[in-house]
């Protein structure tokens, strides 16, 4: 905009907005252009009128004395970008940079710095990070989520229930029964038989569908939780952890070994960064990431080595990972080994039931067509050609439906349902106890674990590191204020070694003076010591030096190195930090606090070794700092190749204290009582490892520690396979171990028949986590690679939670055994009663509707009641189940056979002598049989709560769901008998008959008590049900 100059006045401020408004910006579409032009004209007119009114006299004077004038040149330009941020940015082009790995498009933006500038990102401090900024970016570029295929709805579960073959046969019987019944008795009375069967079938399916639907939703929630990864980002100059779903375009993400790349982005800075893109591209080779040839980082890839920072350029469905996840169907239902075994058991029992039902069908049809059956009035039902076709069909449909219903009751569909219920329930409870189950099979397998191989740091200890000892040369210095007594040159080298050779960071907030430390607990402890005790200014040290090359820390080398050059100087040097005894072996001299470099003679080396052992005996982790100046000739070679690690100069030693977790010794003792061996595998030296193991109760202070209980990784590695197999059971602590040593131990233990659980947190732990029967990764310190390789994530990194998982695993197995015992008792009793009755009298005492009601009680309600039993202390007083234990134990067979024999005996007596005993007609006798049978199952449900203990009521008040289901079953049974006469084909019972039914059923309690007093031998019962 061009203007002539007015006399200086306050009205000049009126032009400020206009001056900004008419800036040159890209052209809008034609409709927008017309609106823009109209606005500009109106605004200019108002500005002139304002001047005329406010400065009328001055303005007139100027007009009369001078020919000067004001001219507004209104340019047809856009001002959108100041009102709508990022409007100039083409989103598709931005997305294409990383998706297509296109350096050409990146150059058009002006390189990575150009993209950062376009996205309004500060290269060092990241985005503003305010709620408004994050929301605006999310609205413009999308959120870091993807559209999931819709979950299976409730109706789908109902439809699936109707697809069952036996249910379909029953529905055909329903249709035929309805047709013939209505034709014979009219609509008013003829629908009862068919309608009641349909209602019973529908009730069974409906209740099962509700249960399955609820469990499906439960698994969905747990799946969402496991996908919620925590990511380190820099916002407003502060490093902070946020959910992967909260990442927005423009975020600067801090990545280290084992991290998953959360979105598509560009490499900003870092060292030795290599990523594994195999999950996206299928290529197993690691890809080098750098700022020149390949700055492209794709979501879903894992960091294999090094560390760095990344600028996010696209999120959610705009990323390669998001596109792939968007197209993946969720119809992948995992079947656990126990579910597979139970399906085989179900199939086997189903075949037995089918055979019984077929025999019943044939016998009843033969008896009917030979005239050996009578109706309610005592007349023969079949009289050859004189019998109406409708009557014959009604009788045949009734016989077929009774036989089919026997199959329905015989097939224990409730077994897989019970597993699903107990797994879902235990997963929910374990989540509350800080354990996230990633694989369903882990719940049940955990109950069989015989050995747990655990890490030390963060699992047995609190992972709250603090530097408590500091040695320079052979002199221990007070950590607080140590900088006052060390020579400035030695202090400077120590500060460089700490600040430049770290993956941690220090941030000072604007408001306070207390700095915030980020990174691993070890890095935070060392940085905290350097800043607060050595008086280090981290930013100043970083700005005074240039990092030329980095060798990142990994658990095999147990050290990290950095090659640096001071700004303005030619000399370069290498700094190393790592395990004290490993670095000590590489040193040829050492500094004392007076800046004197002394040769590392054998005597001096032994003294330093004694210092390290002394710190280790106090359970301290020992870290050494060393450095080496490098000549200019070696500079170019060192910048690209391995850093020099010989002839180093020792700068100092620090001891870090990591206290044991409260209650860890009790947890270790609980495992020992449960017959589970605990083996501690750590990267610390043998003395630190031994001290921690004694503190945690893995080793006893008074026992001989030279008998092979404590070994080093290299020693274990060098054993022959035979030696390893011989000694592996004795080993309780393995120090200075590599991930390969951990893998070797797991393989060796499995070969010896152990069921092994392993804890791990690093990327290199992935092979051992996968190899183990149960992989337990750490939720706080664990890398994403470790978590993906594991079966269960311990959310609080606490060994107590590992013991809780063990308890829940045993509880799952125990609950399923309880339900198997309960269900097989019902199956056996129902099959025998109906078979004997059908063969002897031609009629089944339990009708289709009654059997379907029993099926509902035992399959769904019984599963729900027994699957939700809480774990008890007794579970950890037994030895582990192991691989070869049968699913149905001899204790279960003893209980099952006793209860089934009692039920069959009582009910057959009622079948043949009930009318005489009670002096009632047949229909009331059949109702008494039905009522007694159902009540027997209710009372037997209490017996099933405890497989071995005689006190079946112990802890029952804690399981309110069990009591609720038993109460509901009793109420519904009263309704079935007393009110639903036509529906359930029952007759009302008097008080005496009810008391008799309850008394007979209640006898199962004392019988159970007596039976549990009978000992069982150790010899296997049925090899059929073995693993």
**Position of tokens 């198997």?**
820
Neighbours of 10 (CB within 10 A): 8
Angle between helices 165-190 and 154-162 (to 10 degrees): 90
DSSP E strand stretches across 729-768: 733-735, 756-760
Longest dimension (CA), the chain: 135
d(C-alpha 592, C-alpha 452), whole Å: 44
Q: Which residues pair with 271 in a beta bridge?
A: 307
| DSSP label at residue 699 | S
SS3 content of the chain, % helix, strand, coil (to 5): 55, 15, 30
b/e burial code for range 570-603 (CB count within 10 A of at least 16 → b) = eebbbbbbbbbbbbbebbbbbbbbeeeeeebeee
Please give, one letter per residue, the 3-state secondary structure of 163-231: CCHHHHHHHHHHHHHHHHHHHHHHHHHHCHHHHHHHHHHHHHHHHHHHHHHHHHHHHHHHHHHHHCCEE
d(C-alpha 238, C-alpha 771), whole Å: 39
Q: 466-472 and 475-477: which strand pairing?
A: antiparallel
Token duo for residue 320: 């390669």
Q: 597-599 and 451-454: which strand pairing?
A: unpaired
**Position of tokens 């109406």?**
388
Per the CB < 8 A criterion, the answer to whether 212 and 220 are in contact is no
Q: Which of 232, 259, 455, 684 is catalytic?
A: 455
The helix or strand, by DSSP H or E, that contains position 516, with its residue range, turns out to be strand 515-518
Q: 733-735 and 677-681: which strand pairing?
A: parallel
Per the CB < 8 A criterion, the answer to whether 784 and 302 are in contact is yes
d(C-alpha 692, C-alpha 682), whole Å: 10
Please give, one letter per residue, the 3-state secondary structure of 727-790: HCCCCCEEECCCHHHHHHHHHHHHHCCCCEEEEECCHHHHHHHHHCCEEEEECCCCCHHHHHHC
d(C-alpha 549, C-alpha 562), whole Å: 6
- CA separation, residue 421 to residues 351, 583, 867, 982, 1015 (Å): 25, 54, 6, 34, 32
Per the CB < 8 A criterion, the answer to whether 401 and 197 are in contact is yes
Q: Rg of the Cα trace of the chain?
A: 39
Sequence-distant (≥ 6) Cβ neighbours of residue 672 within 8 angstroms: 678
Per the CB < 8 A criterion, the answer to whether 511 and 602 are in contact is no
DSSP per-residue string spanning 783-807: -HHHHHH-SEEETT--HHHHHHHHH
d(C-alpha 576, C-alpha 597), whole Å: 17
Token duo for residue 452: 């747990």
Per the CB < 8 A criterion, the answer to whether 274 and 296 are in contact is no
d(C-alpha 138, C-alpha 115), whole Å: 17
Q: Which of 906, 937, 939, 908 is nearest to 1006 (CA)?
A: 939
User: Is 455 a catalytic site residue?
Assistant: yes
d(C-alpha 529, C-alpha 656), whole Å: 10
**Position of tokens 């010896």?**
752
Sequence-distant (≥ 6) Cβ neighbours of residue 250 within 8 angstroms: 119, 120, 121, 126, 127, 137, 311, 312
Q: 302-314 and 264-276: which strand pairing?
A: antiparallel
Per the CB < 8 A criterion, the answer to whether 577 and 557 are in contact is no
Per the CB < 8 A criterion, the answer to whether 468 and 259 are in contact is no
**Active site amino acids:** 455
């Amino acid at each position: 905009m061009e203007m002539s100059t007015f006399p200086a006045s306050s009205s000049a401020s009126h032009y400020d907005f206009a001056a900004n408004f008419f800036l040159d910006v890209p052209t809008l579409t034609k409709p927008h252009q017309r609106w823009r032009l109209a606005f500009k004209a109106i605004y200019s007119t108002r500005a002139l009128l304002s001047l005329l009114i406010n400065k009328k006299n001055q303005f007139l004077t100027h007009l009369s004395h001078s020919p000067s004038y004001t001219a507004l040149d209104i340019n047809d330009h856009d001002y959108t970008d100041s009102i709508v941020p990022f409007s100039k940015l083409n989103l598709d082009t931005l997305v294409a940079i990383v998706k297509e790995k296109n350096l050409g498009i990146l150059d058009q933006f002006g390189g990575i710095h150009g993209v950062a500038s376009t996205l309004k990102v500060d290269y060092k401090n990241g985005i503003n990070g305010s709620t408004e900024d994050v929301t605006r970016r999310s609205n413009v570029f999308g959120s870091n989520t993807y559209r999931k295929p819709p979950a299976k709805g409730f109706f789908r579960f109902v439809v699936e229930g109707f697809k069952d073959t036996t249910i379909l046969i029953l529905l055909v019987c329903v249709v035929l029964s309805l047709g013939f019944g209505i034709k014979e008795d009219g609509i008013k009375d003829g629908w009862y038989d068919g309608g009641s069967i349909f209602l019973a079938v529908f009730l069974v399916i409906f209740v099962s569908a509700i249960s399955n639907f609820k469990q499906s939703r439960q698994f969905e929630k747990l799946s969402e939780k496991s996908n919620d990864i925590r990511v380190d980002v820099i916002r407003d100059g502060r490093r902070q952890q946020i959910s992967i779903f909260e990442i927005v375009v423009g975020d600067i993400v801090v990545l280290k070994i084992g991290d998953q790349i959360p979105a598509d982005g560009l490499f900003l800075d870092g060292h030795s960064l290599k990523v594994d893109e195999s999950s996206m591209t299928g290529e197993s080779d690691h890809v080098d990431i750098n700022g020149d040839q390949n700055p492209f980082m794709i979501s879903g890839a894992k960091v294999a080595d090094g560390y760095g920072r990344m600028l996010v350029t696209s999120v959610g469905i705009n990323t390669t990972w998001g596109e792939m996840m968007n197209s993946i169907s969720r119809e992948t239902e995992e079947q656990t080994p126990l579910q597979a075994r139970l399906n085989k058991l179900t199939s086997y029992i189903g075949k037995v039931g089918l055979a019984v039902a077929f025999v019943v069908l044939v016998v009843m049809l033969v008896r009917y067509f030979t005239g050996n059956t009578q109706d309610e009035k005592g007349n023969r039902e079949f009289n050859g050609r004189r019998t109406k076709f409708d009557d014959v069909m009604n009788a045949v449909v009734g016989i077929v439906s009774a036989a089919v219903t026997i199959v329905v009751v015989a097939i224990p569909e409730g077994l897989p349902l019970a597993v699903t219920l107990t797994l879902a329930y235990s997963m929910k409870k374990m989540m509350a106890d800080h354990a996230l189950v990633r694989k369903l099979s882990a719940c049940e397998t955990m109950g069989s674990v015989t050995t747990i191989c655990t890490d030390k740091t963060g699992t047995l200890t609190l992972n709250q590191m603090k530097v408590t000892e500091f040695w320079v040369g052979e002199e221990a210095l007070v950590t607080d204020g140590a900088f006052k007594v060390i020579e400035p040159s030695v202090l400077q080298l120590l500060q460089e070694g700490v600040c430049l050779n770290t993956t941690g960071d220090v941030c000072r907030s604007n408001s306070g003076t207390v700095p915030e430390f980020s990174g691993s607990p070890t890095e935070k402890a060392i940085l905290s010591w350097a800043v607060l005790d050595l008086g280090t200014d981290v930013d100043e040290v970083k700005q005074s030096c240039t990092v030329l090359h980095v060798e990142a820390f990994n658990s095999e080398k147990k050290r990290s190195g950095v090659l640096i050059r001071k700004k303005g100087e030619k000399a370069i040097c290498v700094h190393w930090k790592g395990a004290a005894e490993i670095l000590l072996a590489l040193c040829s001299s050492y500094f004392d606090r007076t800046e004197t470099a002394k040769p590392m003679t054998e005597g001096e080396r032994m003294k330093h070794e004694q210092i390290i052992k002394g710190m280790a005996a106090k359970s301290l982790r020992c870290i050494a700092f060393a450095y080496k100046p490098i000549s200019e000739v070696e500079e170019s070679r060192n910048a690209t190749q391995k850093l020099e690690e010989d002839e180093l100069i020792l700068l100092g030693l620090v001891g870090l204290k990591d206290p044991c977790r409260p209650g860890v010794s009790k947890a270790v003792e609980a495992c020992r009582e449960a017959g589970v061996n605990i083996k501690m595998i750590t990267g610390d030296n043998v003395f630190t490892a031994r001290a921690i193991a004694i503190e945690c109760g893995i080793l006893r202070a008074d026992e001989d520690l030279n008998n092979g209980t404590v070994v080093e990784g290299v020693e274990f590695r060098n054993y022959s396979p035979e030696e390893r197999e011989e000694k592996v059971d004795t080993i309780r602590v393995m120090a200075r171990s590599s991930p390969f040593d951990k893998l070797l131990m797991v393989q060796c233990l499995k070969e010896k028949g152990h069921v092994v659980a392993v804890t791990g947190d690093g990327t290199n732990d992935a092979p051992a986590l996968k190899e183990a029967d149960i992989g337990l990764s750490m939720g706080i310190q664990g890398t994403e690679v470790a978590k993906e390789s594991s079966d269960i994530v311990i959310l609080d990194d606490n060994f107590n939670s590992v013991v809780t998982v063990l308890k829940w695993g045993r509880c799952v197995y125990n609950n399923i055994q309880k339900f198997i015992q309960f269900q097989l008792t019902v199956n056996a009793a129902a099959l025998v009663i109906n078979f004997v009755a059908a063969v002897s009298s031609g009629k089944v005492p339990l009708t289709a509707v009654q059997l379907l009601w029993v099926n509902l009680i035992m399959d769904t309600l019984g599963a729900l009641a027994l699957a939700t039993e809480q774990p008890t202390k007794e579970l950890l007083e037994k030895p582990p189940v192991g691989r070869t234990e049968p699913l149905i134990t001899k204790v279960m067979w003893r209980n099952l056979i006793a209860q089934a024999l009692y039920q069959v005996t009582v009910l057959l007596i009622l079948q043949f002598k009930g009318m005489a005993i009670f002096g009632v007609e047949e229909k009331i006798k059949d109702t008494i049989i039905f009522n007694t049978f159902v009540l027997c199952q209710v009372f037997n449900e209490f017996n099933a709560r405890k497989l071995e203990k005689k006190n079946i009521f112990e802890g029952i008040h804690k399981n309110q769901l069990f009591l609720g289901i038993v109460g509901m079953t009793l109420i519904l049974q009263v309704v079935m008998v007393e009110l639903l006469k036509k529906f359930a084909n029952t007759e009302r019972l008097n008080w005496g008959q009810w008391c008799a039914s309850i008394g007979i059923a209640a006898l199962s309690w004392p019988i159970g008590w007596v039976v549990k007093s009978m000992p069982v031998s150790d010899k296997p019962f049925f090899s059929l049900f073995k693993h």
